[in-house]
Amino acid sequence: MNTSSRQIATVSLFAALIAVFGLIPKIDLPLGVPITLQTLGVMLAGALLRPRLAFLSVALLLAAVALGMPLLSGGRGGPAVFFAPSAGYLIGWPLGAWVTALVMQALPTATPRRAAVSAFCAAVVGGLLMVHACGVLGLMLIAQLPAAKALLGTLLFVPGDLIKAVVTAGVVHTVARGLPDWQLGRREH
């Protein structure tokens, strides 16, 4: 399989993985933003792929959602989801995957243990901080919440997202041990 075919398959696979995480029932919060497992897929894409592919995998999922496919947790899809209070988080997903991958490139991944620690740090920076920064902006713009309330509201998600970062680290540790040739975000030589 040539490189471009492999990249298309990889992007599609990670988009599908994030969609599958959407099958896990969401937990609705009064804030208008549900707790879902899909941010784990965003973190995994960033931790396991190079920045461009990580971004593209999440962007592909969101393009399918925008076209009406019910791939978000709870069977949501269509353009309306990009005008809901959770829109900032959705916009933050591809950026979060990209930032996670950039951080993975900058951190050591020579051993499975180092790769796991790097994946945790990268997932926190990209999958938590970046996604939540976009989410807070979305809450302020779309839900018209004051900055303090939007920030306080997003703190509800932090414990779960820290657990997702730990799971990401565990998956990366397993991949680094089982597939030592996997690039883990490193640039191609």
* Sequence-ordered list of residues with C-beta below 8 angstroms from that of 127, at least 6 positions apart, any chain: 39, 42, 43, 46, 96, 97, 100, 161, 164, 165, 168
- Split at pLDDT 50, 70, 90, the class of 189 is very low
What is the rounded CA–CA span in Å between residue 125 and residue 161?
11
Domain 3-178 has CATH 3.40.50.300: no
Q: What is the mean pLDDT of the chain?
A: 93
Instruction: For 97-152, write each residue's pLDDT tens digit.
Output: 999 999 999 999 999 999 999 999 999 999 999 999 999 999 999 999 999 999 99
Domains of the chain by residue range = 3-178
CB atoms under 10 Å from CB of 7, counted, come to 17
What residues form DSSP beta bridges with 27?
A: 35
- Mean pLDDT for 36-59 is 97
pLDDT at 126: 98
Question: Could you tell me the sign of the dihedral formed by the alpha carbons of 57, 59, 63, 66, in that order?
Answer: positive
